[in-house]
Structure 1
Amino acid sequence: MDEDVLSTPGHLISLAARGFARLSESRLKPLGFGVGQLPVLVALQNGKASTQRDLARFARVEQPPMAQMLARMERDGLIERTPDPADGRSSRIVLTKTAQECMPKAIAALFQGNREALAGFTDAEAGQLADLLTRLIDNLDQIASAELSSGD
């Protein structure tokens, strides 16, 4: 059977992800944020993480790229680092007042972009799409974990 590689879910999801990234980037840039910073901003805002290690785990990225992103965010005045009272070698990371003030606008812009991208979808279809993508991500995480542990 001759399958069209460009019609596979993997390729279509990749196209959709790039489209969302472009849309989000254009709406976040005027607020001083980058789309790649979103997991960090959300984790810090919601108190889900406060160290570089926790943020890397939360955002599902390796430590070196997280360190680079945090350095840029600190340079741009989005985060501040303070010594961790429990561990002198580590630092706690918090959003600056400026970043905190811009977050509601950024979140509103992202939700608006999602609504526009899902125009013509019913609420049930949008919910089902989110559920299916969540399951797909879980499957991909399991595959990656299995391949990492078998490579040890």
Structure 2
Amino acid sequence: MEPLEVLSRVSRLARHLDRARRLAFSEHQLEPWEFDVLTSLRRAGAPYQLSPGQLLTQTLVTSGTMTNRIDRLAKKGLVERLPDPSDRRGVLVRLTPEGRDRADQALAGLLEQERAILAQLSRTQRGELAALLRQLTAPFDNIPG
């Protein structure tokens, strides 16, 4: 029964985290997948742009799904497509100022939600838990999807 003692709690926590994420994103009119794409561009640093292929790698979706997502985000004014100066046939996807603001605000809301979840643990306990979870998830992070 030992695995259930741990993994059932991890599963329950995942459901609470999913709810917290959805709440944080919905307050900024974002879906979780939109946040993932926007924050991938944000992490790229100025000028906050990546090729669609780079976005595929970071978000782990198919090219058709990514095309659809870029179209929808562009329609909302959160990203824009630009010609790739290094490849005449290529495009770059760039975060617009509105997309950057929305991603930053949603991230702040998410961090607030997650801090509340972790508030009952001390800084030392949070560090220990992060190290244990890193150790537990490491084998999955190295498996090609």
TM-score between the two structures when normalised by the length of structure 1: 0.77
Instruction: State the 1:94 CA deviation.
Output: 1.0
Q: Which moved more, 1:60-69 or 1:19-28?
A: 60-69
Identity of aligned pairs, percent?
25
- State the one-letter code of the partner of 1:35: P
Partner of 2:34: 37
* Partners of 1:21 and 1:35 within 8 A in 2: no
- In the alignment, which of 22, 25, 29 is matched to residue 28 of structure 1? 25
Q: Is the CA contact 1:50–1:94 (under 8 Å) kept in the aligned structure 2?
A: yes
State the one-letter code of the partner of 1:98. E
Cα distance change, pair 55–6 in 1 and its aligned pair in 2 (3 A): same
What one-letter code is carried by the residue in structure 2 that aligns with 1:56? L
Q: Which runs of 5+ in 2 are unaligned?
A: none
Query: Secondary structure of the residue that 1:99 maps to in structure 2?
Result: helix
Residues 135/52 of structure 1: CA separation in 2 closer, same or farther (3 Å cut): farther
Distance 2:11 2:117 in 1: 15
**Bigger Cα displacement from structure 2, 52-61 vs 111-120:** 52-61
Question: Which residue in 2 is equivalent to 1:137?
Answer: 137
State the secondary structure of the residue aligned to 1:31: coil
Deviation per CA, 1:39-76: give whole Å up to 9, x if none. 32222112266011111212233333333322222222
Q: Distance in 2 between matches of 1:63 and 1:136?
A: 30
CA distance in 2, matches of 1:4, 1:131: 20
Equivalent in the alignment of 1:66: 66
Tell whether 2:59 aligns with 1:84: no
Residue identity matched to 2:121: F
Coordinate RMSD, CA, aligned: 2.4
**Higher RCO, 1 vs 2 (CA within 8 Å, ≥6 residues apart):** 2
TM-score of the aligned structures, taking structure 2 as reference length? 0.80
Give the CA deviation at 1:109: 0.7
Counterpart for residue 56 of structure 1: 56
Structure 1 residues without counterparts, runs of 5 or longer: none
Aligned-pair CA distance for 1:8: 4.9
Deviations 1:130-152 (A, max 9, x none): 2333333321133x33xx7xxxx
Once residues 71 and 134 of structure 1 are traced to their aligned partners in structure 2, the CA distance between those partners, rounded to angstroms, is 35
